[in-house]
Amino acid sequence: MTAVENIDWTQLLNNISLTAQHGNDGNRIATANGAFKRTVEQLVQVLNDRARLFANSAQFDAALRDAAAIRTILPGSGFGYLTTGDVQCQQGRYAAAIAMYDQGLAAVPESDQYYQQLQQHRSVAVANSNKRVDYISQLPLDIVITNIIPRVDPKFHSDFLCEYLYVSRTWKERFLQQPNGLDFDFGEETETFKRGHDQLVRFAPYVQKLHGNVFDDAELEDLFSRGRFSNLKNMNICCNDTTLRRPLVNGLRLIADSLTHLAIYLSPSIQLRDILESCPNLESLLTMRVDAVMPSSPSSRYPKMKSLALYNLSDPDLTHANMVDVLSRFPFLLSLEIHYTPESSILPILREHCPYLQRLYFGARNYLLDNMDFQPNRKGVRWAYLGGGDDYDYMQDDLIKFLHQHRKTLETFDIGAEINADNPSLEISNGEIVDAGDYDPWAASAAEVIQEEDDASDTAFMRLTDIRFSDHDYPSAEAFIIWLILKAPNLNAIHLPESHILPRIAYVMTKAKRLSKLEIFQKMRYHDHNGIKQFLEHHVGLGDQSTLEKMIIHVDTQMFHVSWLPLIFKLRCLKDLNILVNTISEECLSAWEEIGQGCPALEELTLGMDGAEFVEGFMEPLRHLQKLKCIRIRAQVLPTPDFAILVTIPSLEWIYLHCNVPDFMVRVLRAGNAKLIVEKPEDDE
């Protein structure tokens, strides 16, 4: 840019020195210069008025833009700094306003007509910045403790000051009166509880949740002897091989009156009976590496226990006899989790010992178990997951008996292990249970809980809506799967490995009149696709009468290996499609383009997985999905042209991108109509 093009407003507004060189034009130049100054003064006044109008209507960005224009036009005047600072004060950004006033006071002379106003407005901003409104003290108690504090959800550490408790006496009273009490973490203690943890000890009567690690020489008994933990309800502690049994058990006894929920990890020094005898009021117990040895008296019962989770049990703990001993102690249990998996012969006796059990989980620890709406007075399992391992299977007889017993309540059934149908006493033929001999299949269970109508031929799962078979390597359960689907007339979700969708199973699946969701786990080594093709062709043929609205496809290889994928694009009622694939390559594009010619009802689309790679142009067919409202992409990065295509899909309302997105493209996408959420892959954070 040349010097002539570099306009300095200050020079334009300076008084012009007129000399004889200007001749007769001197007066006219002076007149023009005066008119120019008056015009500029009018312009900045209009900008100031408009800035304040914008600010009054909460259009602060526009107001600050006009204020910045004033500073540009009149850099030697305090007017623009004053306007900017005032707008920032109106926003409540007092620190920014003070900085702007200071900038103006440094830029203009004391003789400037706005200098004193800058000083005065700065003083007001400083006073307002120091002003604090104690809403906690002024609001009604019930609003504070039931609405505000639970949203803050403060967690305190035993060795640091609890800032919320030291604002004022009123604040402390409010926090201590909240119904959920205080949540404390005592960290990792390896030396002693005889000293330290002053905050925890001071507020002990108000502590309801406590968690931390107890190692080496630390003894929990010392901590609970120093304070009155009379309201402690929930404790989560981690131990190790150095944790001593007696101080730990004595510590539990000191808080036993109030403790209802306990999680204790990696404590081989104690046994289950130590915990139960020390804490008789427990309603929920989770243990890991705690031996499942029960009290010696067989009459000991714990009717208050509602949730029991036993992880990393030893083989002797998992025997049939020991499991019977464990289960018989909890007559009102609602939820049971066990790992490793016990003998399948336990399944048919659950109803005898735990008649109110509603959730059953056998398998590795699952941290994502949903909070279930338990109904304490209702009998029968509603949700069951039966996991296992490479060398574990469930006897088909045990499964059938278990399922039949809970046929009136079961809603979700998930099995992730092999089903062993060798030498069964109950066989499945054409979707029906057949007694293999004179053996009475129901006599193995207690007589008092078996009704006369407990006949296998009467089995129907009227509440069962969701079934999952997640073991890929054992398609031997064909007859069992067929029986389960046929006996569940209200089934609306099926989750199967592709290897399990054999033609006979596919045919039975077409008879599920309420099926709306199908999840398929595709494996590269499986090449028989006749079953899934048969099922999809059936629903394509149904046209607008198809009930299938959601599909989730887990692709273990490149997408072009999934030969039946184009059939999905012909489903007229499909609303939600998830294709969890690692690669969409150029070889896939010809088949992928068919999605734009089909799926007329598709509203949600999810593509990819962490680190996925997509070829340029894969997004192009999505332009033609007229009802597409939401798209989710998981990948490492997307080709730039495919980002741009997202802006051209007019129906989109939500875009979720879990990948690397250039900053300029984020701005482009946010300028569109759809709401954008971007998450970077973990490796790049």
Q: Return the minimum-mean-pLDDT range out of 16-20, 68-72, 198-202.
A: 16-20
Q: What is the pLDDT of residue 371?
A: 78
Residue 80 lies in a domain: yes
The DSSP bridge pattern shows strands 604-608 and 182-189 to be unpaired
* Cα 26 versus chain centre, distance: 77
Residue 60 lies in a domain: yes
CA distance 172 to 239: 33
Residue 380 lies in a domain: no
Average pLDDT over residues 298-317: 94
Q: What is the pLDDT of residue 507?
A: 95
Paired tokens of 114:
């706005």
Q: Most distant CA pair in the chain: distance in Å? A: 132
Q: Return the minimum-mean-pLDDT range out of 157-166, 283-292, 548-557, 588-597.
A: 157-166
Cβ-proximal residues to 140 (8 Å cutoff; 6+ apart), any chain = none
Average pLDDT of the chain to the nearest whole number:
86
Residue 656 dihedral angles phi and psi, to the nearest 5°? -110, 120
Residue 46 lies in a domain: yes
Residue 366 has pLDDT above 80, yes or no: no
Query: Which range marks the domain in which residue 114 is found?
Result: 9-129
Q: Is 495 helix (H, G, I), strand (E, B) or coil?
A: strand
Highest mean pLDDT (candidates 73-77, 180-184, 266-270, 535-539): 535-539
CA distance 433 to 240: 49
pLDDT tens-digit readout, 493-522: 999 998 889 899 999 999 999 999 999 998
Q: DSSP H helical segments within 456-546, as ranges?
A: 478-486, 503-509, 530-542
HEC-encoded secondary structure of 421-477: CCCCCEEEECCEEEECCCCCCCCCCCHHHCCCCCCHHHCCCCCCCEEEECCCCCHHH
pLDDT tens-digit readout, 610-642: 989 898 888 999 988 999 999 999 998 888 888
Provide the pLDDT confidence category of residue 268 given band limits of 50, 70 and 90. Answer: confident
Cβ-proximal residues to 330 (8 Å cutoff; 6+ apart), any chain = 301, 302, 303, 305, 308, 353, 354
| Burial class, 198, CB count within 10 angstroms (exposed 0-12 / middle 13-18 / buried 19+) | middle
Residue 15 lies in a domain: yes
Residue 115 dihedral angles phi and psi, to the nearest 5°? -60, -50
Is residue 470 within 8 A of residue 419, CB to CB? The reply is no
Provide the pLDDT confidence category of residue 560 given band limits of 50, 70 and 90. Answer: confident
Residue 206 lies in a domain: no
Residue 95 lies in a domain: yes
Residue 561 lies in a domain: no
| Burial class, 109, CB count within 10 angstroms (exposed 0-12 / middle 13-18 / buried 19+) | exposed
Q: Percent of the chain at pLDDT above 90? A: 51
pTM: 0.76
Centre a 10 Å sphere on the Cβ of residue 168 and count the other Cβ atoms it contains: 12
Centre a 10 Å sphere on the Cβ of residue 88 and count the other Cβ atoms it contains: 24
| Burial class, 311, CB count within 10 angstroms (exposed 0-12 / middle 13-18 / buried 19+) | middle
pLDDT tens-digit readout, 118-138: 999 999 999 888 776 677 777
pLDDT tens-digit readout, 10-25: 555 555 554 545 455 6
Residue 384's nearest CA partner among 368, 396, 365, 399 is 399
C-alpha separations of 133 from 136, 506, 530 in Å: 9, 67, 70
Q: What is the pLDDT of residue 389?
A: 66
CATH of the domain at 81: 1.25.40.10
The total number of structural domains in the chain stands at 1
| Burial class, 221, CB count within 10 angstroms (exposed 0-12 / middle 13-18 / buried 19+) | middle
Q: What is the pLDDT of residue 8?
A: 54
HEC-encoded secondary structure of 209-255: EEEEEECCCCCHHHHHHHCCCCCCCEEEEECCCCCCHHHHHHHHHHC
CA distance 475 to 481: 10
